[in-house]
Each structure stands twice: as C-alpha cells, then as structure tokens.
Amino acid sequence: MRLSFLVGPVNRGKLLMLYAAVGAALLFSSCYPDYNLSATDYDLVMTRYAPGTNFGAYDTYMMPDTVIHLDGDTLTGTNKLLSRKYDQAILSTVAAHMQALGYQRVAVDTTNPADVALIVAASGSTTIYYNYWYPYYPGYGGWGGWYYPPTVSVGSYSTGTLYVNMLDPAQRDSQRRFPVVWFAAANGLLNATSSPATRITEAIDQAFAQSPYLKTN
C-alpha cells in the first residue's frame, strides 16, 4: 500500500476506514470481557477420594474439636493470617454433614478408634506481586520515539485454604501413618469484604454436595 493512500485528499471511503479502525481499536481495548468477578468467584473446592474405598462400610467417625492452623511446615503452629473466630462454625458444619450422611460421632480414642477420623486444618499465605509498566510511544518522523522510566506497582493478596481430611485408622501403616481416604480443600481470598462465615459454610456444603459417595449404608 502506498503512503499516498493515507495522506491524499480525504473522501468518504477513507473516513469510513478511519471510523472502522477506531471502532476496532475500541472493541479490543481489553482482551477479555470483564466478568465483574467478586471474591466468591475465586473460591474453589476440590474433593478427592482414594480409589477402592468402600465408604458404605464405615459407621462411626471421630473428630478433634479444634481446627489445626498450619504455618509453613509446622503442624500445630499458629498462623497470624487466620482467625479462630470461625473454627467452631467450621467444625459444627462438618459434623452436621457427617450426621446427614449417616455417620455416628464417637469420642476421640486412639486405642479404640472410630471407623474414620476427620482432621480439619487451615492454612494461609500472602502473595506479593509486582506490575512493571513501560509506557512507550512509537517513533514519529525522524524521531526514535520516547519512553518514560519504568514504574513499579506492588500489591499483595492473602489466600486461605481449609482442609477436611478423612483418615482410615484401620489402614495405619508400620510407621503409624493413617492413609487419607477422602479430602476436601477449599481455597479462597482472605480479608475479602464479603462475609467470610457464609463463604466458609458454603464451601463446606459444596465439598459434601460434590461427594455423594461418602454416604454410609
């Protein structure tokens, strides 16, 4: 295409082309549609079970009345990102679902354990991210264009994960480790403005809803 096409006398056809080009640029000003995602859209619930497990054969379960707060590799540590405020609601919601599935709760007893043990745990971590922004203007005429020094913006978000692990004490190995026969992991943003208690409860509800095979006979 010759340059004269662009700089010659303006006619309606060229104006239309300009309008079409500007329209296309506006259309593509953002790659993907903005789905207006809220904090709850970042909530995720994953459930897995050990193949071959006959959940119908279980009758009883035991569950310590505490939520283990994980901090790095420390099993019994505390995590400053996590609040104890929701622990009882978490444990009672899990217990309600277990009862609805037909399990009978018994006292925690390591010498005469229940059919399964539920261990509820939570972890939290903070991710820091950096955005580098290089505004750049292409060359014009004989100039090579210009640019501004890079500016850096820094942000962070905290995420939390709630784990519900179902262990089978009867399958304990020689090192006294219990195999996990089912687990649920609910992951989401911490410190979000939407109600954390509701999001936690809904996540636990969803974990059991997508695991109908847990029902006892």
Residues of this chain that interact with another protein (CB under 8 A) are 1, 5, 11-14, 16-17, 20-21, 24, 27-28, 31-33, 35, 37, 40-51, 159, 187-189, 206, 210-211
Do 93 and 205 form a contact (C-beta atoms < 8 A)? yes
Task: For another protein, give the closer residue by CB, 12 or 176.
Answer: 12
Q: How many CB atoms lie within 10 A of CB 182?
A: 21
Residue 24 belongs to what H/E stretch?
helix 12-27
The nearest distance, CB 108 to another protein, in angstroms, is: 27
Task: For another protein, give the closer residue by CB, 24 or 154.
Answer: 24
List own/partner pairs for 171-180 with CB under 8 A and 24 or more apart: 178/117, 179/50, 180/50
Do 63 and 108 form a contact (C-beta atoms < 8 A)? yes
C-alpha 96/C-alpha 101 separation (Å) is 9
Q: Which residues touch 144 (CB under 8 Å, ≥6 apart)?
A: none
The nearest distance, CB 106 to another protein, in angstroms, is: 27
The nearest distance, CB 31 to another protein, in angstroms, is: 6
Task: For another protein, give the closer residue by CB, 26 or 57.
Answer: 26
The nearest distance, CB 155 to another protein, in angstroms, is: 14
Point out which residues pair with 117 in neighbouring strands.
62, 167
Task: For another protein, give the closer residue by CB, 114 or 186.
Answer: 186
Task: For another protein, give the closer residue by CB, 12 or 85.
Answer: 12
The nearest distance, CB 36 to another protein, in angstroms, is: 10
